A and B are shown apart, each in its own frame.
Chain A
Amino acid sequence: MKLKGTQILLRILEEEGVDIIFGYPGGTVLDIYDRLHDNKKIRHILVRHEQGAVHAADGYARATGRVGVALVTSGPGATNAVTGIATANMDSIPLVVFTGQVPTGLIGNDAFQECDITGITRPCTKHNFLVRNIEELASTIKEAFHIARSGRPGPVLVDLPKNVMAAEVDYDPKNIKIRNYEVFHKPAPKKMAQILEMLSSAKKPLIMTGGGVILGKAAAELTQLAKQYNIPVTGTLMGIGSFPGDDALWQGMLGMHGTYYANMAVSHCDLLIAVGVRFDDRVTGTIETFATNAKIVQIDIDPSSINKNVVVDLPIIGDTKATLQDLLKFLSEHNYEPVKNQREQWLAQLAAWKKKVPLTYCRSNDIIKPQAVIEKLYEITKGDVIITTEVGQNQMWTAQFFPFAKANTFITSGGLGTMGFGLPAAIGVKSAFPDKQVVDIAGDGSIQMNIQELATAAQYNINVKIVLLNNGYLGMVRQWQELFYKKRYSNTDMTHTPDFVKLAEAYGIAGFRATKPAEVEATLRQGLAVDKPVIMEFVISREECVYPMVRPGASISEMTHDREITN
């Protein structure tokens, strides 16, 4: 059967189960858009900026665990997508991003809207392709999906020259061959025996869960391991949700803004089982003092994540789900039992740390505290909500004060820390789960980075809810200036911000504002109930800081706390 490039593209997208594309048209993708116009199976969401398209596809992918898809034009369309691609790449999120390209005959000629997007995105994609002829189109698209979701996932860019998409070729799905590249799944059985041995001799074991547990869909296995053997758990920012945040074994996030007790646990444990983490510098503090009392087991699918920052005692290359399943089986076959009073002593020690320095803040009846808004949001929603965040203090307070119970419900840009991520990501999540409450917890700086996506939400009735914690500052940067630059607030005071309620109205969505603690609950209830996209603006205490905090270059066992609380 003869098919055009554009037909092949849509056909394979359908085969891959793609139901939504986020995109923005332009000259080189006109043929594809023309084909999309009649397609009944794939929904296209027209964003207002290509960065928004990629973040939306990314949010979709993080919430569903499936591959997110974006489509943009060549040149400026493609370069606008780069921040979104780099964001997904740092957090290992499976995406396929299609970019238009000038006809192959013009490539290299500085043609109108030509840009070497495969060159530009080489360092920030898992892989990318320039499709040079119609014969390779089908296999390339198939391969792109395979690469995006297999092994350590990541974004794959496919550059589609206009003439290739217009060309015709004999299409036979049976003839599409894709290369298999090597990925590791199952570790050697002897590794299981080694973990058992380490667990049996450990008095103070700790599990550290990370993004790899969520990416590998291994939250159930991880939770079983911890609960069955009574092992306490801490997690990275990306691991939040992979273990129930309301469980007594949960110690909260570790690292720069981790809880005191989580950081003390890591510093004092004698066995650290690290699952799907890459020991980012925000997590470890100074490497020399990280988990110095512990033997470290690291389970990761990507050998390049192992021994990169932290040298480990037992590296295990494997998929989190497969490996944890093997481990659970092995432990039960060998009747592993923790020594009861030893484990109880360790848990009592953790409880004592938690009692000494709990995760808390100074409450106020006069001024809205951001943490109180987040706690109230949890109380009202009972946690049944998917939350995205922007970047900065809003993100850290969310990680600290919202006890996430399930994987894929906390969606945040960790590795790149991209301001402007939260709103388009929420749009992506809500398009995948229209019946779920989806909330973007935002700062006034970040929200303005992709504010134009409010129009997208309004156009498609994608009823995302924005909880805007407005401190009138680039809060996280201001915090660093307060603590490390003698309060010299160079260029962090957003002295002019729009009236967000009016702005909401201008976009045809709803807007509410709370300026006093007494208004918080009503504003949240009202905003969550409205059947429209909503901005709920909370005018919060301007100079609130995120505590605890590990100073850059310090050990994670040395934390700075809120002076008003510790005094």
Chain B
Amino acid sequence: MEKKEHIISILVYNKPDVLARIAGTLGGKGYNIESLSVNTTTSYEVSKIIMTTIGNQATITRIENQLRRFVDVIRVDNLTNIESIHREMILVRLNLTEDKKEEIKKNIDTYKWKVIVSADSYVILEITGDKAQNDFAMARLEPLGIADITRTGIVALELES
């Protein structure tokens, strides 16, 4: 069976240890969490976790069933096979060294990257997109000399519920 990345949306009660429970159990059973994003929903009592993991369909089904066993899990949806949009964010600091300065500016114009801090010696950019778009951006950023970078996990939303 083909292995691929799956995006799983998990609605949970916002309990102090719910994340530890989920991460611990999946880790303990040998499943790898590729990325994770957690925040409260419209209700403070309920959080949404968007998790990505790689595996074949059988493994993913096992993960979903495992997640459904948790008392604090309200609902589990695999967004991979339903129409949904996906975004992740990159924050990156590029140093404006003499030899890269011009190229950095050119790239910012070409790709319409959002500059959120602009200082004399560096810039900080915010880039959002789906995984492919951000991988594309990463490929452009690397030759520019990344001073520091952070990348969020994926957030995702179904088009219709």
Contact = CB atoms under 8 A, between A and B. Distances in A.
Contact of A304 (B16, B24, B62, B71): B62
Given A118-B17, A152-B69, 7 more contacts: A123-B24, A123-B25, A179-B71, A304-B66, A307-B58, A307-B62, A308-B62
B69 A122 contact: no
Interface in A122-140: 122-123, 126-127, 130
Contacts of A373: none
A189 interface: no
A122 B62 contact: no
B161 to A, nearest CB: 18
B60 to A, nearest CB: 12
Interface residues of A, number: 18
Contacts of B97: none
Contact of A119 (B13, B20, B25, B71): B20
Interface string B35-67: 000000000000000000000001001100110
Nearest to A152: B69
Nearest to A126: B71
Interface in A257-314: 302-304, 306-308
* Top-3 shortest CB links A-B: A304-B65, A303-B65, A127-B71
A122 B13 CA distance: 16
Contacts of B151: none
Judged by DSSP, the binding face of B is helix
Interface residues of B, number: 18
B143 interface: no
Contacts of B62: 304, 307-308
A117 to B, nearest CB: 12
A147 interface: yes
Interface string B6-29: 000000010011001100110010
Contacts of A307: 58, 61-62
Nearest to B69: A304
A112 interface: no
Contacts of A123: 24-25, 28
A468 to B, nearest CB: 37
A144 to B, nearest CB: 10
Interface in A155-204: 179, 181-182
B4 interface: no
Given A123-B28, A147-B71, A179 B20 contact: no
19 contacts: A122-B21, A122-B25, A126-B71, A127-B71, A130-B16, A130-B17, A152-B69, A181-B71, A182-B68, A302-B69, A303-B65, A303-B68, A304-B65, A304-B66, A304-B69, A306-B65, A307-B61, A307-B62, A308-B62
